[in-house]
Amino acid sequence: MKGPRSVPTAPLLRSLTSRPCPRYAPNGVKAMRPTPSQYRTFLRPERPTHRAVEGLNLNRMKHESYDYHIRRRNFLLCGAISGIIAICYTSYLISVQLRKPKKFDSGLPDKLDPFNTEAGSKRKTVVHDAQGREVVPTGNSTVPTFPRTLDLAIGADEGQEKVSGVEYTLVGLGVRTVSFLGIQVYMVGYYIATPDIAAIQSRLNKEINPVATTLVPSEKDELRKALLDPERGEKLWNSILQETKPRSVFRIVPVRNTDFPHLRDGLVRAITARSQGNNAKYGDEGFGMAMKEFKAMFTKGSLPTHSEMLMCRDAAGALTITYDDGKSGMATVGRVEEERLSRLLWLNYLAGSKVASEQARKNIVEGLMEFVERPVGTVATQVI
C-alpha cells in the first residue's frame, strides 16, 4: 500500500507563481510597460486629448478656404459663359436656316411612284405640299409633282361654273421622250372635268358589262386589256370623245428648255400620221383650214423648264391652248373649233399603236381603273 503524497515545499510553489513585473528597472530606467492611460480596447474608446487644437494654423486655413471659393467661382463663371455662347451660336444657326429659301417640293423623293398598290389595286399617290395643296408625284426630279386638281374657266358653261371655274381631276401622267436615247422633253398629265367623270364611268362599264355600275377585278382586267389594245382602245376612245364628249385637259410642263416650233412639229406629225389614209374623214377643206390655224398658234417663243402649257378640249370638241411662263400669268395662245383635230390630238396620247408617251398612256389607264371600281357618280364626292 502506497503512502500519502508529500506536499510541495514553499520555495517550489514560489517558483511556479508569476512574479510581478517591477515598475522601474533596477538601474532606474523606465520599464516598457505602458501606463494605464495608453490602453485602448473595443469597449473603451480613446480618451480625448486637450492638445488637439494646438497644431491648427488659422491663417493657413483661411487662405485655403479663400482659394477654394475662388476656384469654385471661376468654374461656375466659365460654365455660365459657355452656356451663353452655346445659346447664341444655336440661335445664329437657326436664323441662318430660316433665311434660306425653301424648296417645298424637294422633300419628296425623286423616284416616288405616281401609283401605289393598296389591297391589290393601283391608286394614285396623293401627298400635300407646303401650302397644303394635294399633289401627285411624277417620279421626275425636274418636275417632281403635278396638282391633283385644276380649276379652270375654260370649258365652263354659263352660270356658276363660268364664275368659279370647272374642277378637273388628274387621271394619269407620264414623260414624253424622243430618240432612241430616251431624251426627256416634257411631263404630260391628263385631266378630266370632275362633273363629267360619271359619264365616262358609265361608258366604260357598258363596254364590259352593260348592266354594271361598278366592275369586279376580272372585269377591270378585261377593260384594261381593251384600253391598251391598239385597235380596240382607239375605237373605244373615239366613241368616248365623239359621243360622251367629256371636257378634258392635257397639262404639259417641259423638263428641259424647248420652244413652240419644236413642240408644234411633233404635234403636227402625230395628227398627220393619224389622218393620212382616210381622206373620206379628213380630206375636206375644213380640216385643212383647222390644221393651218393650229400651226399658226405655234409661231415663235420659247418653252423654258417649269413653264406650263394647257391644251383644253370643251364639250363641243373645240381646242383652246393657254401658256404660263411663270412670270406674266396665264395667256391664251389660240383656239381651233374643229372637233376632229382635237380628237386626233387626244388620241396621240390615249390610244393607238404608237402614242406620244407610253408611260402616260398606261398611267391614264390605271387612273380609269380607279374610276370604274367605284359606283357611278361617286368619284366627284370622293375624299382623298
- Output the domain CATH number for residue 228: 3.50.70.10
In a domain, 331, yes or no: yes
Q: Give the amino acid at 280.
A: A
In a shared domain, residues 256 and 177: yes
- Which of 99, 123, 158 is the last residue before a domain boundary? 99
In a shared domain, residues 207 and 139: yes
Within 10 angstroms of residue 112's Cβ, the number of other Cβ atoms is 15
Q: Which residue has the cell 397644303?
A: 132
SS (H, E, C) 311-332: EEECCCCCEEEEEECCCCCEEE
Q: At what angle do helices 339-350 and 285-297 cross, to 10 degrees?
A: 70
In a shared domain, residues 85 and 171: no
Structural domain count, the chain:
2
In a domain, 296, yes or no: yes
Ramachandran angles phi, psi of 128, nearest 5°: -115, 135
In a domain, 49, yes or no: no
In a domain, 38, yes or no: no
- Which of 99, 124, 149 is the last residue before a domain boundary? 99
In a shared domain, residues 181 and 234: yes
Set of cell numbers at residue 69 = 471659393
In a domain, 329, yes or no: yes
In a shared domain, residues 73 and 157: no
In a shared domain, residues 162 and 77: no
Alpha-helical runs (H) found in the chain? 10-16, 58-99, 160-164, 197-208, 217-228, 230-239, 260-275, 279-282, 285-297, 339-350, 358-372
In a shared domain, residues 161 and 291: yes
In a shared domain, residues 72 and 187: no
* Vertex 294 angle, CA 234 and 346, to 5°: 20
Domain range for 202: 109-372
The pLDDT profile of the chain, 384 residues, written as one tens digit per residue, is 455 555 454 454 454 444 555 554 455 444 455 555 555 555 656 666 556 566 678 888 888 899 999 999 999 999 999 999 999 999 999 999 888 866 544 455 555 677 776 666 677 788 888 788 889 898 888 888 999 999 887 655 554 444 457 899 999 999 999 887 888 999 999 999 999 999 999 999 988 888 888 888 898 899 999 999 999 999 999 999 999 999 999 999 999 998 888 889 899 999 998 888 777 888 888 999 999 999 988 877 888 898 999 999 999 999 999 999 888 888 888 999 999 999 999 999 999 888 999 999 999 999 999 888 888 877 766 655
In a shared domain, residues 139 and 84: no
